[in-house]
Structure 1
Amino acid sequence: MGRGDLTNAEWDRQESFLSPGGARGGRWSGHCRVINGVLYRVRTGVQWRDLPEWFGPWETVYKRHRRWSADGTWQMLLSRVQAAEDAAGGIDWDVSVDSTAVRAHQHAAGARRMPPAAVPRKGGRAGDEPGRSGTSEAGRPAGGGGQIGECLGRSRGGFTTKIHLAAEGRCRPLAFVLTPGHYGDGPQLERVLEKVLVPRTGVGRPRTRPDRVLADKACTSRVNRHYLRRRGIPHTIPERLDQQKHRKNRGSRGGRPTGFDSERYKKRNTVERTINRLKGFRAVATRYEKRAYVYLGTVTLAALVIWLRT
């Protein structure tokens, strides 16, 4: 076993969820070896053609990763691990929300134009998957597979993709979405929280509501606060100075001051530490994939490893 490969205990937790069947009724080549090959690439960021020979043909490893990114297999494995942790009481449901910009490599540009009507992934809706349908991950028209459709944009950091994520209190990612790098954080708060969905191991609907949400000033808007109140989610979000001034100028019509607990807000560092863990994987810290759905699969696999090893 090489450094960074799945241990026997980690593989035992995943093996029962993976089907041995492949395309046209055949059998896959060894799942464990192929997953370790994908992990090696996600951890080191090497080109697919430079994968060591002991992982098998690089084409097999790449195609498996691309297929599982498209059909939701990586997300399914992550959901199963989260469900087991929740059943054991191992999830801290004080959820922190933030984003991070990821610099896109020059090889991430130049994706071919995709048809606006693409077949949605299994169990999803058209537009749920970035770069695989007529809408981007941010819910805007993809423009036929342009930069917006592949979640690439120009920001202060250059040619970037932004990862918006929600992290639980033990520094593990619960949910995340991709947008182009110039998109703001506030409008994505609702979309990130809608992605929080932890299945039950027994009977019952998946858990979707955190005990509390913590976010920075970028998410302090009336729309976001109304959304959180409507769902009955307590929140700790500081109010911007201009909003405080505007509320006071309106007098009694400005409403009551927003409640803010500075001690609770100190716990928001969990999402920053989660981002540091994700960016410890070099293929996450720098985006090399042209297609957004493949990069989303890379981020999902990195999150899966974090959950398995924390």
Structure 2
Amino acid sequence: MSVRLVISDAMWDRIEPLMPADPVRGRRWADHRRTIEAIAGKYRTGSPRRDLPVELGSSKAAHKRLLRWAVDGTWEKIFAVVLATADADADIGWTVSVDSTVCRSHRHAVGVRKGGTGQGTQPVDHTPGCSRGVLSLKVLAGDSDGQPLAITVTAGQAGDAPAFAAVMAALRVPRTGCGRPRTRPDLVIADRACSSRAIRSPLRERHIRAVIPQPVNQIRNRLRRGPPGGRPPGFDVDTYELRNAVERCINRPEQWRGLAMRTDKLAIVYQGALQLAAILIWARR
């Protein structure tokens, strides 16, 4: 049977130098390209890993590779190098938009075994359960061209505002040469859910311009208090229209059915798959 592949030769030329070398001891890695094709094929089609075509190699090896590299941070490191290369090529627009999307979790994603592999690397509430609505929330930061810069997976019942600090902390683009990673965008755009003093004050202290509209209740409270309510925060309507970039940023990885509906029990594995999708999105440019 013919298998539709995700990674082109041009994309692999960019990704191959970032792959980990074979271990000094033990069995050598299976072919990196075929294994990543198997992982991408699973999430692109949303099929169980055991139903992957035999042309893509062992489905068990692909699952172990995804889990192992998610736990030891390999996907995160590769994603950081891809971002560093893009920043060196001036390919990142530092007008950053932050937003979230809620995806359904399949029944296969519930019932994590306590003490299982990777369980100690994530908070307990990152695992969806029936009492939490069986939902998983993805919080993303995208650049001005709709390319992903930071991804944070939270519990389904979590709100956007508490996760804002986490996604801003995950925004770290290393330098290809000397210097500390860049963590400060030129501009941050978010919706009304992120309009709070706890969000605006840290951005102001870091000299980051924020374009966040105020909800109606905050406007009413400020007007009711009169002069003690202070001045309204600055808001540029024309700049806020650029927030459509984050919607495109969300839609791109959700073209993969396995990411639009979560089937992974461990949130760290699901986030690793999101990071792989982000790596391939940047490699496609």
CA RMSD of aligned residues (A): 1.8
User: How far is the alpha carbon of 1:150 from its aligned partner?
Assistant: 2.1
SS of 1:132 mapped into structure 2: helix
- 1:61-80 maps to which residues of 2 (within 5 A)? 61-80=62-81
SS of 2:134 mapped into structure 1: strand
User: How far is the alpha carbon of 1:78 from its aligned partner?
Assistant: 1.2
Match of 2:160 among 163, 185, 190: 185
Distance 1:67 1:19 in 2: 12
Q: Match of 2:120, as an amino acid?
A: R
Give the TM-score normalised by structure 1.
0.87
2:202 paired with 1:214 = no
Percent sequence identity is 42
Kept in 2: contact 1:78–1:300 (CA 8 A): yes
Give deviations 1:54-79, integer Å, cap 9, x for gaps.
11121111111111111111111111
Distance 1:152 1:6 in 2: 34
Q: Match of 1:297, as an amino acid?
A: G
Kept in 1: contact 2:195–2:214 (CA 8 A): yes
- 1:218-297 maps to which residues of 2 (within 5 A)? 218-297=193-272
Kept in 2: contact 1:165–1:192 (CA 8 A): yes
Q: Match of 1:51, as an amino acid?
A: L
Provide closer, same or farther for how the CA distance between residues 131 and 53 of structure 1 changes in structure 2, counting only shifts above 3 A: same
2:120 paired with 1:132 = yes
Higher RCO, 1 vs 2 (CA within 8 Å, ≥6 residues apart): 2
Distance 1:66 1:271 in 2: 28
Counterpart position of 2:127: 150
Distance 1:22 1:54 in 2: 25
Provide closer, same or farther for how the CA distance between residues 17 and 41 of structure 1 changes in structure 2, counting only shifts above 3 A: same
Provide closer, same or farther for how the CA distance between residues 305 and 49 of structure 1 changes in structure 2, counting only shifts above 3 A: same
- 1:25-40 maps to which residues of 2 (within 5 A)? 25-40=26-41
Give the TM-score normalised by structure 2.
0.94
Counterpart position of 1:121: none
Distance 1:263 1:208 in 2: 25
Kept in 2: contact 1:95–1:213 (CA 8 A): yes
User: How far is the alpha carbon of 1:131 from its aligned partner?
Assistant: 3.9
User: How far is the alpha carbon of 1:36 from its aligned partner?
Assistant: 0.9
Q: Match of 2:187, as an amino acid?
A: R
Unaligned runs of 5+ in 1: 119-129, 137-141, 143-147
Unaligned runs of 5+ in 2: none
Distance 1:153 1:208 in 2: 37
Kept in 1: contact 2:44–2:257 (CA 8 A): yes
User: How far is the alpha carbon of 1:132 from its aligned partner?
Assistant: 2.8
Provide closer, same or farther for how the CA distance between residues 22 and 150 of structure 1 changes in structure 2, counting only shifts above 3 A: farther
Higher helix share: 2
How many residue pairs were aligned?
284
Counterpart position of 2:8: 7
Counterpart position of 2:146: 171
Counterpart position of 1:49: 50
Distance 2:185 2:17 in 1: 29
SS of 2:172 mapped into structure 1: coil
Kept in 2: contact 1:153–1:181 (CA 8 A): no
